[in-house]
Structure 1
């Protein structure tokens, strides 16, 4: 397949590029060229996505079988790119988010749960949910039935620049007694970026379109399994000490919010990790074992060091203040 990746240097974009190259696809990337050097084997085009003329100039008259777009900010940028490529690509895959669904998310929700409002012409990047929904509408407007909307859940795996698993692995690496957001049997849903990349590329191959909730099966993994497996992968002697949500809230610790298992004023939110993913799995989604995701993430951290956090990601340092952690550990 002849593929254009809009982005291609961070997390999902990098996973898409590497997965496509492994499949034997002919890959072109378009980005500013300031984050990482081009991936060997790709054609690298340079342009600032916010500048329509620069994008038009960089793309020239070339055509592609498919486009995958990872943009997460102002919807207008997605609109401009989708309009430009509407007559030059047969498929447009947009990396969206479950965040486009109106809060609170219903228990067991699928793709038909209520959506937030979005404006494909908006220049606003501050409201993530509205921005992603605006991006969806922009892609639908330009590509119609040739558009794929991948509404991702929590995305993990190598190249993660949100800082969830990298932060936790570094904390477990230091060892000792480690405060963990309990209870340990709290279920999690997540997707390895590489599994989502493979699914989106396969969907482009087969002309799969429409909106899909793309994350793992509900109940497949718990927070306890995730952190214990991470500890084993690292070879750490850390002891996980599970703190009830109420104890964390009493100390003002946001620990657990990084995984969406608690929120301010809502220690046990529903709808976060029990999404109905039947449609995506029926359309060919597969998920690798948790241990593979964590082992590969640890290998990446060891080889490349800690990632530069996304500008819109919360500072991981806010999740756990060491002095407060010790105070609560002593109490527990």
Structure 2
């Protein structure tokens, strides 16, 4: 059964974005912070963690990462590594320690927040929780801000939900993240910072949700593009997100912030033309109407990454208000930089990884779709 757009939206924004314009006040990574911090990062070896660690170390901070130790990451020397398993309540390595800030990257289950608080409450001056724009109950209103209603958990016991139950039912993702936010504000009252990213993109992205486009456009030829190009989209480069988060820690900024970009309405056409301009392959974009894509069972977000039609209950999906984050210094690197760096990173991966993108159309399906569209247009 095809997934509905409403369900897709609730599952989709696992979180964002691409910098398109530089903003005043962007701090160089090699500029020492005024006051070095002791930073604890829960996770630290996934997608955004290494970007956080590298920027924080370059700014002169002392960084500790806490995770299961099962994933390797290229982290700078001098970073302290602590191990434990939050699924099993094993946070013993954190006991008796103090940090200026804790950044919680991987948490999607509220009991992880509760258990972290048992060890860290009163031991950290700021708790920063990485949430998602998927926490919102509704995506139909353009320019909605952080005060919009959140998704509600309707299960039996939110503290009994685990990563396994989430994997089995991804419809829980938004409600569980919203419940995590509630627990964070409850446990770290007055010292919590909630960051709600949109689609996070750039070097290191394991999902290929954005990577598909630089890779595909660099290949050239006839390229399927979704809709008429006017649908707004939002994304955030992982480096823009994480560097801004470290600066929030330096300034001890609390509150709730949507974190995606750019700082103006960007259309799907602007995104794809901007990416295409970084290549010399001469790709030809074929904009195929939303109705025809639906008839051909081409899914927004997965088959056509980044894109969700700006219609009905998804009219506001690509237009979240980010005014609060901009006011605290969220800044964006150029789209060309993100696209070029992402492509270069992807080309550095092993051949078997490059052979199959995690998102987007396969070459065979794209050709079939283009042939069907041309036949319809000619008939």
Structure 1: runs of 5 or more not aligned: none
Q: 2:244 aligns with which of 176, 193, 199?
A: 199
**What secondary structure does 1:211 align onto?**
strand
Q: Note the 1:299-314 alignment, pairs <5 A.
A: 299-305=344-350
For 2:281 and 2:267, the matched residues in 1 are separated by 19
Q: Could you tell me which residue of structure 1 aligns to residue 82 of structure 2? A: 45
**What secondary structure does 1:292 align onto?**
helix
Do residues 222 (structure 1) and 267 (structure 2) align?
yes
Q: Could you tell me which residue of structure 2 aligns to residue 99 of structure 1? A: 134
For 1:172 and 1:106, the matched residues in 2 are separated by 32
For 1:318 and 1:77, the matched residues in 2 are separated by 36
- Deviation by residue 1:149-206 (Cα, 9 ceiling, x = unmatched): 0011121121112221222233233321011112223222222111111221111122
Q: Could you tell me which residue of structure 2 aligns to residue 316 of structure 1? A: 359
Structure 1 range deviating more: 76-85 or 127-136: 76-85
Contact 1:105 1:113 in 2 (8 A): no
Q: 1:14 aligns with which of 36, 50, 61?
A: 50
Tell me how far 1:319 sits from its aligned partner.
7.7
Tell me how far 1:73 sits from its aligned partner.
2.8
Do residues 133 (structure 1) and 170 (structure 2) align?
no
Q: 1:211 aligns with which of 256, 279, 295?
A: 256
For 1:268 and 1:245, the matched residues in 2 are separated by 15
Give the TM-score normalised by structure 2. 0.78
Distance 1:306 1:107, change over 3 A: farther
Tell me how far 1:83 sits from its aligned partner.
2.9
Residues paired across the two proteins, number? 324
For 1:104 and 1:272, the matched residues in 2 are separated by 5
Tell me how far 1:329 sits from its aligned partner.
4.8
Do residues 327 (structure 1) and 371 (structure 2) align?
yes
- Deviation by residue 1:230-249 (Cα, 9 ceiling, x = unmatched): 23334323211111111211
Contact 1:176 1:237 in 2 (8 A): yes
Tell me how far 1:258 sits from its aligned partner.
2.9
For 1:319 and 1:273, the matched residues in 2 are separated by 25
Q: Could you tell me which residue of structure 1 aligns to residue 146 of structure 2? A: 111
For 1:306 and 1:283, the matched residues in 2 are separated by 41
For 1:307 and 1:276, the matched residues in 2 are separated by 39
For 1:37 and 1:278, the matched residues in 2 are separated by 33
- Deviation by residue 1:265-319 (Cα, 9 ceiling, x = unmatched): x68821112222111111221112211111221222122358979xxxx952568
For 2:133 and 2:53, the matched residues in 1 are separated by 23
Do residues 294 (structure 1) and 339 (structure 2) align?
yes
Do residues 75 (structure 1) and 75 (structure 2) align?
no
Do residues 258 (structure 1) and 305 (structure 2) align?
yes
Q: 1:175 aligns with which of 220, 230, 240?
A: 220
Structure 1 range deviating more: 288-297 or 254-263: 254-263
Distance 1:315 1:298, change over 3 A: closer
Contact 2:268 2:307 in 1 (8 A): no
Contact 1:71 1:78 in 2 (8 A): no
**What secondary structure does 2:305 align onto?**
helix
For 1:158 and 1:59, the matched residues in 2 are separated by 30
**What secondary structure does 1:121 align onto?**
helix
Q: Which has the higher contact order (CA 8 A, sep 6+)?
A: 2
Contact 1:262 1:268 in 2 (8 A): no
